[in-house]
Amino acid sequence: MPDEPLELSEISISDWYAHADTMAQVGFLTMARRLPSLVGQALRIAWSASRRDTLAMVGLNLLGGFFTAFGLLATTGVLTALFSQGPTPDRVMAALPSLALVAAAAALRALVLAGAGWAQARLTPQISRVTEQRLYGLTSRVDLAAYDDPDFHDALERANNRGAVVADAVVSEAIDVLTAAVGILATAGVLGVLHPVLLPLLLLAVLPGAWAAVRGARMRYTTERSLIPARRRKWIVADLLSERAAAAEVRAFTMRAFLLRVYDSVARAEQDVMLGLARRETATKLWGQALGGLGTGLVYLALGLLLAAGAIPLAVAGTAVLAIRTGQQSLTNLLFATNRLYEQGLYFTDFLGFCEDAERRLPDLAAPDAPAGFERIVAQDVVFTYPGAATPALRGVSVEIKRGEVIALVGENGSGKTTLAKILAGLYTPGGGVVRWDDTDLAHVNPEHLRTRTAVIAQDHTRWPLTARSNITMGTERGEPALLAAAAVAGADEVVARLPLGYRTLLDRRFKDGHELSGGQWQRIAVARGFHRECDLLICDEPTAALDARAEHALFERVRAHAEGRTVILITHRLASVRYADRIYVLDHGRVVEHGTHEALMRNDGLYADLYTLQASAYR
């Protein structure tokens, strides 16, 4: 109903804002103490991306600071000549050499800073590439069990969603900190050369503006942080209003008006908060400008007194004014850059920590290769527990599989069938027991090489946004005959025949000329993928879950007809499909409770007979 009250409960903060609490509580001095470490991290990642561009960027920024100081000192010569006694033309002519030095310093400073900006612009995409390569190189190699570890998964989300993204920003902010620090040092050096008393005047001039800048930035940060849950809710509702996944139900349930009410309620609340922030920011800026004006007035007063006392000449006072104004801008830049660097550094530290943890989870690729084949596979007393789980998924499981056999693993949900299959395929490493191919312990072979000897047709197979050809070949081109043969076995050739571009059709409607398949059609593509590998061991995990009865029967007939010479492990809940397996292993709560042929298990009148009879009765 239009007047129905809305429930606008908050949504938890995402990984993108994981360190918002830390930033809200930390002070500027804490940030400053961590600056050397953060700058060091940034320079190391930049160095790994491109040594040449890193050297150019740092060197040219330092050179820019030198030219800043040189230009300020040369300005003293200009002012000295202009303020001297004599006719104006003579004074202008006397100032020309110093004026030329000022112009040369300004031109050279602009030139080197442009070069530094160019080097930094070159570094940005290189840093992104290096960090992403490191992240995805690790995530694609870690043991599969890591993805079942909640702590690892949380760390991965933080590293992927924000940590890797801010790597180039960390470098940029570190360079901004260095540039601002060099500017301040150059200004301080000039004032120290002109007169030691001028150094305190620099602080008097810049601190009010710095206070206003830090206060304003902190005010905006805390406000933005308070809006995170509301903005997340707004983004979620916006996705529901605009994304394809929800489009049908938005219309079917006439949700448009309700969702727009939710969106507008959140948007109005956000608007009110931002208007209040604008008011407070304006007041802060006015106070900062007022205090800054007072500080500047005191500086001019102090310079006047120094001039009146004859402590400094007029030209030095003029140069000091220019130096102080330069220092004001440099200090403001330093404060902003420090705040940004500290915040981005927290997320970048998440990325580095994740990479260190992932490297400890990598398999040993220096181990010997897996055997070229096998006569039998033996799993003996295998135990496996998922990370964080209270009870083992497998408890002392033993199975034996001979080459060329079709072995079925059956049992109720959660009995351990898929876990056992993944251990036999080398995707999981057992926590206890041993798996052997003949006399070779799989724990001591290269896992990536072992996976080239196995093929898995998974129930939750991936729908790759690739062409139909690549969805079957998976980048392992074995020629057209192998592709066509695998597609024919799975019945995928019938699916491809209906596609507008055949095997060249992109199977993702989000892209131009892309095409979408039904669940059953995707399952045939996944089965063809498994047969295309021509491996010694083929694991079929619910390969017919999305198929109709006719297609399921046809597929199993094809599997039996083309499995000659291959060893097949079949996992299915449709027990009529396993009647002709050479041997059936029945699992219950992580244990093998019985095994044998279909006929033997039916005579045994155990769990298998109970499940089979229960399932068969539904068809009577």
Residue pLDDT, tens place only, 124-163 = 889 888 888 888 888 888 888 888 887 887 788 777 777 7
Rounded mean pLDDT, 525-542: 85
Domains in the chain (CATH in brackets) are: 20-360 (1.20.1560.10), 376-617 (3.40.50.300)
Rounded mean pLDDT, 476-504: 87
* CA atoms within 13 Å, Cβ hemisphere of 479: 4
Cβ atoms within 10 Å, residue 168: 24
With a CB cutoff of 8 Å and minimum separation 6, the contacts of 139 are 156, 160, 358
Least confidently predicted of 56-65, 542-551, 599-608: 542-551
- The per-residue pLDDT for 317 is 75
For the whole model, what pTM was predicted? 0.70
Supply 471's token pair. 């969805």
In this structure, the strands spanning 567-571 and 406-410 are: parallel
Rounded mean pLDDT, 540-554: 70
Q: What percentage of the chain exceeds 90 in pLDDT?
A: 5
- The per-residue pLDDT for 210 is 66
From the list 63, 280, 4, 102, the residue with the least C-alpha distance to 186 is 63
- The per-residue pLDDT for 587 is 92
Residue pLDDT, tens place only, 350-370 = 788 888 888 888 877 777 777
pLDDT at 386 over 90: no
Least confidently predicted of 177-186, 295-304, 386-395, 478-487: 295-304
Least confidently predicted of 12-16, 287-291, 345-349, 387-391: 12-16
Alpha-carbon distances, residue 291 vs 29, 62, 203 (angstroms)? 22, 32, 13
With a CB cutoff of 8 Å and minimum separation 6, the contacts of 301 are none
pLDDT at 166 over 60: yes
AA letter at 361: R
Q: ∠410-414-418 over CA atoms, to 5°?
A: 60
Residue pLDDT, tens place only, 280-293 = 888 888 887 787 77
Torsions phi, psi of 476, nearest 5? -110, 80
Least confidently predicted of 6-15, 308-317, 537-546: 6-15
Residue pLDDT, tens place only, 174-204 = 888 888 888 878 777 777 777 777 777 777 7
Q: Residue 11's pLDDT band (boundaries 50, 70, 90)?
A: very low
AA letter at 258: F
CB 524 within 8 A of CB 441: no
CB 70 within 8 A of CB 107: no
Task: Classify residue 325 by burial, with Cβ atoms within 10 Å: 0-12, 13-18, 19+.
Answer: middle
pLDDT at 223 over 80: no
Q: Which residue has the higher pLDDT, 324 or 82?
A: 324
9-34 exposure pattern, b = at least 16 Cβ within 10 A, e = fewer: eeeeebbebbbbeebeebeeeebeee
- The per-residue pLDDT for 619 is 63
Q: Residue 395's pLDDT band (boundaries 50, 70, 90)?
A: very high
Alpha-carbon distances, residue 468 vs 70, 379, 503 (angstroms)? 66, 36, 5
Give DSSP secondary structure letters for 408-455. EEE-STTSSHHHHHHHHTTSS--SEEEEEETTEEGGGS-HHHHHTTEE
Q: Which residue has the higher pLDDT, 462 or 232?
A: 462
Quick one: which H or E segment has residue 325?
helix 314-360
Chain mean pLDDT for the chain: 80
pLDDT at 427 over 90: no
Q: What is the rounded CA–CA span in Å between residue 517 and residue 534?
A: 25
